[in-house]
Amino acid sequence: MASFCKLVTVVLLSVFLLVTPQAPKPCCTPHVFTTGLATLTLAPQQSGQPDALISQEGDYYFDGPNKRVAINVTVQVLDSQQPSQQIYQINDFNKKMMYIIVDNTTCQKSPLSGDFPNNDCIPDNATFLGTVKLGESYAVNRWLIDAPPIRQDVTMTVDQCIPVTSVLTAQEAGITMTSQEYYNFKTSIDNPDEKFTPPSICNTASLFTRSISRIHRSTIKSPFMAL
């Protein structure tokens, strides 16, 4: 009888191992894409002021082959009297330069250091959290990207590795939490030269060698933190 029970246990364990799905390999998004982006950021303030809730919505452009990314968003500090701002940020790793254009009237630029980040792929050391469904049948994979002091929980479509949502938390870098939603994804960029060419006002802009405008840098986040 004991031998029979052991046999049954082995058989059941073998069946369980056969039907238990393996974690998928980390995937890569298309190397060129445009996506809509809606973000809420809870950002700590100075001098003991309450945290600010900052909304931004607009478009994000990723051009991997040419090592450049850009974002064009309307930024609003909620529950405040501050007016909204239109912010266009370009990170050009070929020219090693970052541009931030505010309301199309002022331009700040700063040198970029380091190499173009491989932000179109889920890192190999990311933790697979499982597959869930949106609605009745649309499957997405959840991944945890741990890059201290930043952690990012992202969901990607199973079939094409398209970003759907992201929740980013950090104890440093001026951010407490950022929640992102992506929409209207497409594997192309309309008029790419226009998207990645700073306006003429940047020709005479001063070059900042230190951190520029804290609210601009701390609130602009992107898929996989490319900006």
6-61 residue pLDDT tens: 444 444 443 333 344 577 889 999 999 999 999 998 877 777 777 788 999 999 99
In this structure, is residue 216 part of a structural domain?
Answer: yes
User: Is the residue at 114 inside a domain?
Assistant: yes
Q: Is residue 111 part of a domain?
A: yes
Q: How far apart are CA 227 and CA 219, in angstroms?
A: 10
Answer for the pair 145, 122: CB distance below 8 angstroms, yes or no: yes
Is the Cβ–Cβ distance between 7 and 13 less than 8 Å?
A: no
Which tokens go with 6? 């052991």
Residue 112 lies in a domain: yes
- Residue 23 in any domain: the answer is no
Domain limits at 202?
A: 32-121+174-225
Our measurement of the distance from residue 204's CA atom to the centroid of its chain's CA atoms, rounded to an integer in Å, reads: 31
Distances (CA, A) of 37 to 16, 21, 185: 41, 32, 10
12 located within any domain: no
Predicted TM-score (pTM) of the model is: 0.80
Cβ-in-10-Å burial (0-12, 13-18, 19+) of 47 comes to exposed
In a domain, 36, yes or no: yes
Instruction: Let me know if residue 96 belongs to a domain.
Output: yes
Q: Are 41 and 177 in contact (CB under 8 A)?
A: yes
Domain count, the chain: 1
pLDDT digits (tens, 9 = 90+) for 141-199: 999 988 888 889 999 999 999 999 999 888 665 667 889 999 999 999 999 999 999 99
